[in-house]
Structure 1
Amino acid sequence: MFLNDPMSNSGCGCASRSGNMDCPNFGPFIAVDAACISVTPPAAATGGSIIPFSSGVTPVALTSLVTGLIATPSLIGFGTATPGVTLVGETLDLSGLVTEAFTVPRAGNITGLSASFSATLAVTLLGSTTVTATVYRAPAGSTTYTATTATVNLAPAFSGVIALGATAFGSGSFAPIPVSAGDKLLMVYSISTTGVTVAQVLTGTASAGITIE
């Protein structure tokens, strides 16, 4: 679009109008309507990138030990999930196993985490069962993942008779967590229990999202 087109820059913020309607303003230009063009560029997007996670159509089965600690967590990917992995302390060794991790394309900071869980199987639970979502990280070239401080306990905790569709939600608050290009990030769901001395199982769907700036 030429600036001397009388249909597209009538006025156009020019202090003077010469005979050939030259305008000293240069782009980028944004077409507002046929009578004027704005010289103000659009504001840059802020807030970082949002990475979504979902277990998809396959429910996850989260179990706890008789001690109330985590037994087997589930890995949540992008429409899929992998249950029954072995957690040692705060470390997951996925050598030769299926992984739901993604690789970080550039350096940044994890600044936010939100997660939800919905029961797909009615069950009666003893004590109080809390669902936790945690981001695990492995450096480039490694298959050993370690828990980060990007973690959130979902509320409310589950107890007693759990109806089909019962849900819990949580958003994490933590200091920015630096990640480097090539790091692999993994969303891990687990449960822990209190006030009980028997193993518990909670089945449902999981979804979460993290922000990387």
Structure 2
Amino acid sequence: MLNDVNHSGGKSKLSQKALKVWLFSTLVGTIVAWPVRRLYGINWDDVGYYVPDLLINDLSVLSGAATLHLFLKLHKQQSDFWGTASTYMVAAAAYTPLVNLMNLPNFLRRLEFEKLQLDEHVSGITAVQNIFTPNLAHATNWTGPVADATNNISLAISTFYVVVFAEFLFMKDGRTRLGVYSALACSVISSLVIWTLLLSPLQYINEYSSIHP
């Protein structure tokens, strides 16, 4: 899939193909998670939920692509922004549905915890703060250990994916393996910081405000 995008020819054509692949992946992810969302009153026609959710996911991918391009440049590796962004987008599209599937128990646990907070009339900001506390681990019964197990599997898949993606990036002429791995490691760390401090709280607030008991 990555090779197909890389050989599609032209920046505009490259970006269009990558965008189509990413949108299809987003649709698959939405379908996979819909039964869980439906349990908490988030329906297909809930535009107030899905539009912000799509924007948050898009910002996550764009921030990952931007940091990867930046760190490739800082490590003196060849990188064209649109080419790197398109490659990153397709790679994320291939990887995201599987990880979303593995994270369904954790997603269910989080929504259940948010519903408990809603039942107690906790404010949105406080509810988000509570998600980052150990209370979340005890929010539900069976989803706790299942979510912990699937999170570990998801982490293993993510690690394998990063190594494969790094090797693919290394295949471009003029790049070194050390430079690529170092740039990708810095990009992953930066993306995790951006996700944890900015994007995930926005996602939790969006979920919390959309849940219907």
> TM-score, length-normalised on structure 2?
0.25
Structure with larger RCO (C-alpha < 8 A, sep 6+): 2
Structure having the higher strand fraction is: 1
> TM-score, length-normalised on structure 1?
0.25
Higher gyration radius (CA): 1
